[in-house]
Amino acid sequence: MKKNEDKLETAFAAFCRNAGFRRTIQRRIIYELFYEAQSHLGMEDIMAKISLKNPELRQESIYRILNDFEREGYIRKVEVPGVKKYEYASEKHGHFLCSKCGRITDVDTSDIHLPSTLSGACDVSITFNGICPTCAKKNKK
Ligand SMILES: [Zn+2]
Ligand SMILES: [Zn+2]
């Protein structure tokens, strides 16, 4: 556990140094959220998690930090229509959106290839829509 803390601290310090950010507790909390979870977080998720640790952090400040982090390429907006969430900027992937619970799951799209005539395209945004396994199970009962 302690080791992970150290790793996070080192990563955060390097990130701030490169970006020219001051190391504030607010940035640290948000950095940690995405570092650990590597999942899809909306404003509500972020607010909920932050209020446990630092209730004073206001929504405007969070937006500003998210924008800064996005500009630095640490996180990005999840490219799912109608969804306002951020995710850790890992390798590009597609998403599966559950129409029942709204859960988003990452989908590996590296096997999908464009026809060679279109090979100049470099950006991809793929969303699959359906019912996630958890909701599908509930439906059966
Ligand atoms: Zn679901
Ligand atoms: Zn994702």
pLDDT single digits (tens) 22-31: 999 889 999 9
Q: Is the pTM of this model over 0.95?
A: no
How many A from CA of 61 to the centre of ligand 2? 24
pLDDT single digits (tens) 24-69: 988 999 999 999 766 899 999 899 888 887 777 888 999 999 999 9
Inter-residue contact 94 to 107 (CB < 8 Å) = yes
DSSP code at position 101: T
How many A from CA of 100 to the centre of ligand 1? 5
Domain boundaries, the chain: 2-87, 91-140
pLDDT (0 to 100) of residue 1: 53
Contacts (Cβ under 8 Å, ≥6 apart) of 51:
57
Q: What is the mean pLDDT of the chain?
A: 89
> What fold does the segment set 91-140 form as a domain?
Dna Ligase; domain 1 (3.30.1490)
Closest among 99, 91, 81, 83 to 38, alpha carbons compared: 91
The ligand minimizing its distance to the Cα of 96 is 2
Contacts (Cβ under 8 Å, ≥6 apart) of 42:
83, 84, 85, 86
Task: Look up the CATH number of domain 2-87.
Answer: 1.10.10.10
Confidence of residue 127 (pLDDT cuts 50, 70, 90): very high
